[in-house]
Amino acid sequence: MVVAKQIDVISLFPDMFDAISRHGVSGRAFERGLAHLQLWNPREFSTNPYRSVDDRPYGGGPGMVMQAEPLAAAIEAAQARQHDAGVGDPRVIFLAPHGRRLDHDAVMRLASLDGLVLLCGRYEGVDQRLIDESVHECVSIGDYVLSGGELAAMVVIDALLRQLPGALGDAQSADQDSFVDGLLDYPHYTRPEVWRGRQVPSVLLGGDHERIRRWRLQQSLADTAALRPDLLRNRDLSKEESVLLAQSLQAEQPE
Ligand code: ADE
């Protein structure tokens, strides 16, 4: 039996998650039961009459800080639900700009876990004691600041769902994606053969699968060298890849 990946999200804006639960590849993954998404609004765990979950920062300064207790109660409810669903050790992840930067390896690691509890911050931040007490790791989706963790959590969920077996349907596979083998994806083309005077590269029309494979690999290598040279520095090239990359660099040289 395939056990659904359990994903719980703590957010003041649970409706935002309709974007991934009702559309596209991620929506289908939930529909097919490959994963289960449960949203928790920390307001529901607030014990004060206004259902507020934030307060002014100790030490002064702008903005408000999310209080520890409603978040802890929401996280504990999510963990209890996951235990009931058979997850031994749900991992609590706080989405924040100071977290470890998300990349393909991190997505694969998260995709291998049975259960995740994603904590989305708002306002100026979250009381540090909650992070020290309840969070296993912090994840950032890039060096910029979003208005809250929701979009980052959706990025994490979307990226890991497409790695689940069966999420992409039979014809597609996530192992063709950019980054899987440490290179950017090759360019794609579809009908018509000529569009606004631009031709589809002739190698793709010939049906010679070995030539097509070599051409795509060469495009991946050339694009990676031009756009993301850092990826090539961390990766050993095979003999074939070195030759293809050298050829493409030579072809770019002016006469
Ligand atoms: N929350 C605000 N900015 C963020 C970022 N860059 N990554 C993850 N969570 C965030």
Is residue 29 a part of any domain in this protein? yes
Shared domain check, 147 and 195: no
The domain tally of the chain equals: 2
Task: Considering the candidates 43, 57, 69, 124, report the single residue annotated as catalytic.
Answer: 124
From ligand 1's centre to the CA of 97, what distance in Å? 4
Is residue 90 a part of any domain in this protein? yes
Instruction: Output the average pLDDT for the chain.
Output: 95
Q: What is the pLDDT of residue 178?
A: 79
Shared domain check, 33 and 60: yes
Is residue 218 a part of any domain in this protein? yes
Is residue 56 a part of any domain in this protein? yes
* pTM of the model as a whole: 0.93
Q: What is the pLDDT of residues 136-187, one digit of tens each?
A: 999 999 999 999 999 999 999 999 999 999 999 765 678 777 788 999 999 9
Shared domain check, 217 and 135: no
Q: What is the pLDDT of residue 171?
A: 52
Is residue 170 a part of any domain in this protein? no
Is residue 173 a part of any domain in this protein? no
Q: What is the pLDDT of residue 172?
A: 65
User: By residue range, what is the domain housing residue 233?
Assistant: 178-252
From ligand 1's centre to the CA of 249, what distance in Å? 37
Shared domain check, 44 and 123: yes
Cα distances from 225 to residues 103, 177, 222, in angstroms, run: 18, 17, 5
- Locate the DSSP E strands across 90-238: 91-101, 115-120, 125-126, 137-140, 194-195, 198-199
Domain boundary among 161, 193, 216: 161
Contacts of 200 (CB under 8 A, 6+ apart): 189, 193, 194
**CB of 119 closer than 6 angstroms to any ligand 1 atom:** no
Domain boundary among 103, 130, 161: 161
Q: What is the pLDDT of residues 197-208, one digit of tens each?
A: 999 999 999 999
Is residue 119 a part of any domain in this protein? yes
Q: What is the pLDDT of residue 252?
A: 84
Shared domain check, 187 and 154: no
Q: Which atom belonging to ligand 1 lies closest to the Cα atom of 95?
A: 9
Shared domain check, 114 and 9: yes
Shared domain check, 154 and 193: no
Given a cut of 60, whether residue 219 has pLDDT beyond it is: yes
Q: What is the pLDDT of residue 59?
A: 97
Long-range contacts of 209-218 (CB under 8 A, 24+ apart): 214/240, 214/244, 215/186, 216/186, 217/186, 217/241, 217/244, 218/244, 218/245, 218/247, 218/248
14 catalytic? Reply is no
CATH number for the domain spanning 18: value is 3.40.1280.10
Given a cut of 80, whether residue 1 has pLDDT beyond it is: no
Q: What is the pLDDT of residue 106?
A: 97
Shared domain check, 233 and 117: no
Task: Considering the candidates 97, 185, 214, 216, report the single residue annotated as catalytic.
Answer: 97
Shared domain check, 51 and 142: yes
Shared domain check, 148 and 67: yes
Shared domain check, 151 and 244: no
| CA-proximal residue: ligand 1, atom 7 (nearest) | 140
Given a cut of 60, whether residue 2 has pLDDT beyond it is: no
| CA-proximal residue: ligand 1, atom 10 (nearest) | 96
Amino acid at residue number 229:
P
**CB of 95 closer than 6 angstroms to any ligand 1 atom:** yes
Domain boundary among 161, 191, 211: 161
**CB of 97 closer than 6 angstroms to any ligand 1 atom:** yes
Shared domain check, 134 and 17: yes
At residue 3's C-alpha, the angle toward residues 131 and 78, to 5°, is: 30
Q: What is the pLDDT of residue 116?
A: 98
**CB of 102 closer than 6 angstroms to any ligand 1 atom:** no
Mean predicted confidence (pLDDT) in 37-62: 97
103 catalytic? Reply is no
CATH number for the domain spanning 243: value is 1.10.1270.20
235 catalytic? Reply is no
240 catalytic? Reply is no
| CA-proximal residue: ligand 1, atom 4 (nearest) | 97
Is residue 168 a part of any domain in this protein? no
pLDDT band at 60 (very low <50, low <70, confident <90, very high): very high
